[in-house]
Amino acid sequence: MGEGKRKRGRKPKTSDEETKDFQHATTTANDVPSASVPTPATEPNPDANNPSSSRRGRGRPRKITKNENPRPNIGASPERRGTRHAEQNGDFTHATTAMTTTTAITTAAVVSEPVRWETVVKVVPSMDAVVKVFCVHTEPNFSLMWQRKRQYSSSSSGFIIGGKRVLTNAHSVEHHTQVKLKKRGSDTKYLATVLAIGTECDIAMLTVSDDEFWEGVSPLEFGDLPALQDAVTVVGYPIGGDTISVTSGVVSRMEILSYVHGSTELLGLQIDAAINSGNSGGPAFNDRGKCVGIAFQSLKHEDVENIGYVIPTPVIMHFIKDYERNGAYTGFPVLGVEWQKMENPDLRVAMGMGPDQKGVRIRRIEPTAPESQVLKPSDVILSFDGANIANDGTGDAWFHSRHGERIGFSYLVSQKYTGDYALVKVLRNSEVLVADINIGYEDIVNTQVLAFNGKPVKNLRSLARMVESCVDEYLKFDLEYQQIVVLHTKTAKAATLDILTTHCIPAAMSDDLKT
């Protein structure tokens, strides 16, 4: 699934200190733990806060006050199969994600938010629309393409919307051979049909042909995108019981998030309500009982706890309208370009930008994209559909004005539909060779230098000679992935000594490059 976040078109970076494992929240019924599946760094002790635990030894049990009673979350869940690595027993496991959720025990140092009962009461009438999803998966065998792997079962959550439709997660019904739904308080499972699967946004749409299923249930209504610190209530069927479960929290972050199922980046909400295995596909309600998102994944890392993610209503509504407009899911559009930040002030001057202009430089354009007919490399994108683009790639849109947060301009692109037109304002043919020292170039690492001041670089010695003998006013390095670095020659050479001293480097180059 997903490890770290990376920008579209940028060469991925790896860092052991920043590795993040995401996990889906789908309960797999017949999983068998395997040695190749990553396990949590530490296993919680269910008796750690139990005064009668045998770890205390002999003597009278410790007296417990009211403030010392922790609220444990739902217990550990089995590991879920993915579609990345094949095991010897025919099971699959995602390559980079540990699917084991652990019980988080609240200690005295962590203050737990009380349940907002007034919020729960408002959500209760809407909970009848939440259903439990049972799916039998049969995954393809990519080694023996004429065969399939052994089938397995999973359970997750979903909810009823208008038009006799049910929404759940795409990963809840991937490679499905049979899908059944069960309503709250019912003992009957109804056979469901999958209408559409949005792998990118991790949403699937189902329906049931039996009219009895729709009797006595009102579809959920969607609410607006919540703001930070707004209360949310997640409802679903996580592992640990057959009845419905309710957890509450607040919205703690809104940003472009990595959707691990589809390996895409779309708008997502981070909440502190518990999302466990089986919660996948369940709705997240606001304090007015309206659905504001779909629970779909959580962050598993030794340094974090209680971080879950919700698909927000803009992404959900895009999926629904896409299906209604085209009769099928066509996907989220992309601009088809790779871009470079313009945070270096002199680099902006190098591209001919004025002091009040901001934007991002196009590094590469997909040759099959329609934009390749109108855009060119080294164009500077100044705005998209009237929304100004900042030097770091964030956009000025209604999202910023309403929520006070800047968000990547790829969000503006994702709100379009396949075949739509957009107005893109660019700056072209205004380059000059001007730049300052290193500001804005911190993210460029382990990148090959292809040319210097327009001349190809044969090896490191030739590059060193060209830099030392350069009498031009500026140093321009053409890097791979269509990136450029421009430095002022006198300023760069004057700063060399200070850089060597600051970083304790004995010389600017080794002796074999000086000859």
For residue 310, what pLDDT is reported?
95
**Contacts made by residues 205-211, CB under 8 angstroms, sequence distance 24+:** 205/165, 205/166, 205/167, 205/319, 205/320, 205/323, 206/133, 206/158, 206/165, 206/166, 206/167, 206/168, 206/173, 206/179, 206/181, 207/164, 207/165, 207/166, 208/164, 208/166, 208/181
248 catalytic? Reply is: no
Cβ–Cβ under 8 Å, residues 291 and 285 = yes
Predicted TM-score (pTM) above 0.75: no
Per-residue CA distances from 133 to 53, 190, 378, 411 (Å): 38, 10, 49, 30
Closest CA to 133 of 280, 316, 241: 280
Query: Across the chain, how many H-helices and E-strands are there?
Result: 8, 27
* Selected catalytic residue, list 245, 258, 280, 410: 280
Quick one: DSSP state of residue 51? T
For residue 134, what pLDDT is reported?
95
478 catalytic? Reply is: no
Beta carbons within 10 angstroms of residue 436's beta carbon:
19
* Selected catalytic residue, list 171, 261, 318, 488: 171
Q: How far apart are CA 132 and CA 157, in angstroms?
A: 5
Q: What is the dihedral of CA 197, 256, 226, 74, to 10 degrees?
A: 70
Cβ–Cβ under 8 Å, residues 397 and 407 = yes
For residue 355, what pLDDT is reported?
85
Q: Give me the residue label for tokens 């779309």.
A: 266
For residue 119, what pLDDT is reported?
56
360 by Cβ neighbours in 10 Å (0-12 / 13-18 / 19+) ranks as: buried
171 catalytic? Reply is: yes
Q: How far apart are CA 467 and CA 212, in angstroms?
A: 78
Q: How far apart are CA 485 and CA 376, in angstroms?
A: 19
Q: Give me the residue label for tokens 């590991």.
A: 79
Per-residue CA distances from 280 to 168, 237, 479 (Å): 7, 9, 43
Cβ–Cβ under 8 Å, residues 370 and 336 = yes
For residue 1, what pLDDT is reported?
43
In angstroms, how far is the first alpha carbon of the chain from the final one? Answer: 50
Count how many Cα atoms sit within 13 Å of the Cα of residue 275 in the half-sphere of its side chain: 36
For residue 114, what pLDDT is reported?
55
Q: Over its length of 515 residues, how does the chain's per-residue pLDDT go in tens digits?
A: 444 444 444 444 444 444 455 667 666 655 444 434 344 444 444 444 444 444 444 444 444 444 444 444 433 333 333 333 333 333 333 333 333 333 333 333 444 455 555 555 555 667 899 999 999 999 999 999 899 999 999 999 999 999 999 999 999 999 999 999 999 988 999 999 999 999 999 999 999 999 999 998 999 999 999 999 999 999 999 987 788 999 999 999 998 989 999 888 999 999 998 888 888 999 999 988 899 999 998 887 777 777 899 999 999 999 999 999 999 999 998 888 989 888 887 778 777 888 888 999 998 899 888 888 889 888 999 999 888 999 988 887 666 656 677 888 888 899 999 888 889 999 987 547 443 456 667 677 778 888 888 888 888 888 888 888 888 878 888 888 778 888 778 878 777 787 778 777 888 888 777 76
Per-residue CA distances from 252 to 84, 311, 421 (Å): 31, 14, 34
For residue 13, what pLDDT is reported?
46
Sign of the alpha-carbon dihedral angle for 43, 48, 52, 54 = positive
For residue 118, what pLDDT is reported?
57
Q: How far apart are CA 123 and CA 463, in angstroms?
A: 66
* Selected catalytic residue, list 21, 31, 91, 202: 202
Domains of the chain as residue ranges with CATH:
121-214 (2.40.10.10), 230-326 (2.40.10.10), 337-427 (2.30.42.10), 449-513 (3.20.190.20)
For residue 515, what pLDDT is reported?
64
Distant-in-sequence, close-in-space partners of 488: CB < 8 Å, separation ≥ 6 = 346, 434, 435, 436, 437, 473, 474, 475
For residue 19, what pLDDT is reported?
44
Q: Give the phi and the psi of residue 453 in degrees, each rounded to 5.
A: 50, 40
For residue 48, what pLDDT is reported?
43
